[in-house]
């Protein structure tokens, strides 16, 4: 995963567990002297270990921390790439463009990024069905990112997750309900 994602986790970690505890996690799970540079790729295992470390220190399940992380990550990515995120005038427009526009632009900016495959179908004006597939199985993080996006557009979002890769499915199905 790119440094930009680690920096998002770092920001959240410093807010929640504090700098000292975060440094402790880095000492345990990252090579000595590690500095996360946004466009550089670092091992996924390192991100998962750090996220698990944050979860343990907060005494929360990893899935919950990944969701909170995803939510703050949206703002972090949107701010870092205003040129991309400001293209959309509504939550719906952004969501249907994740794969075809947002991550396509990301592929131009980063050398061989490791991105999920996301497809969307608009069911009606209050419902969007999103299919998520990635070998990293970060669907909980995707849920958080979607909540972050909803917040950005001042929308109330509820997500159902009736099919999940963590339960052996080939891809996750997220049903987005908008108010």
Q: How far is the CB of 28 from ligand MNH (least distance, A)?
A: 22
> In terms of CB distance, is 49 or 164 closer to Zn ion?
164
Q: How far is the CB of 124 from ligand MNH (least distance, A)?
A: 20
Contact (CB, 8 A) for 155 and 94: no
Name residue 120's beta-bridge partners: 130
> In terms of CB distance, is 80 or 161 closer to Zn ion?
161
Burial environment of residue 173 by CB neighbours within 10 A (0 to 12, 13 to 18, 19 or more): middle
> In terms of CB distance, is 139 or 157 closer to Zn ion?
139
Q: How far is the CB of 18 from ligand MNH (least distance, A)?
A: 26
> In terms of CB distance, is 25 or 94 closer to ligand MNH?
94
> In terms of CB distance, is 24 or 106 closer to ligand MNH?
106
CA distance 168 to 63: 17
Which residues touch 105 (CB under 8 Å, ≥6 apart)? 81, 84
Phi-psi region of 137 (alpha: psi -120 to 50; beta: other; left: phi over 0): left
Q: How far is the CB of 69 from ligand MNH (least distance, A)?
A: 11
Which residues touch 39 (CB under 8 Å, ≥6 apart)? 2, 3, 4, 109, 110, 111
| Among Zn ion, ligand MNH, none, residue 113 binds (CB under 5-8 Å by kind) | ligand MNH
Binding site for ligand MNH (CB under 6 A): 1-2, 4-5, 74, 77-78, 81, 84-85, 98, 102-103, 106, 110, 113-116, 134, 136, 138, 141-142, 145-146, 149
Tokens of 85: 């995120």
| Among Zn ion, ligand MNH, none, residue 164 binds (CB under 5-8 Å by kind) | Zn ion
Q: How far is the CB of 20 from ligand MNH (least distance, A)?
A: 27
């Amino acid at each position: 995963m790119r440094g930009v994602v680690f920096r998002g986790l770092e920001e959240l970690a410093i807010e929640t567990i504090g700098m000292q505890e975060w440094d402790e996690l880095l000492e345990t799970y990252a090579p000595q002297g590690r500095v996360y540079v946004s466009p550089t790729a670092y091992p996924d295992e390192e991100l998962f270990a750090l996220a698990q470390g944050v979860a343990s220190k907060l005494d929360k399940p990893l899935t919950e921390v990944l969701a909170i992380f995803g939510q703050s990550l949206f703002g972090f990515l949107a701010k870092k790439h205003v040129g991309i995120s400001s293209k959309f005038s509504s939550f719906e427009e952004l969501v249907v463009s994740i794969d075809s526009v947002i991550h396509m632009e990301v592929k131009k900016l980063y050398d061989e990024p490791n991105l999920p495959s996301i497809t969307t179908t608009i069911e009606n004006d209050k419902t969007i069905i999103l299919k998520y597939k990635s070998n990293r199985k970060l669907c909980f993080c995707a849920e958080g990112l979607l909540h972050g996006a909803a917040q950005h557009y001042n929308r109330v979002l509820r997500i159902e997750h009736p099919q999940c890769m963590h339960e052996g499915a080939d891809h996750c199905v997220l049903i987005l309900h908008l108010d």
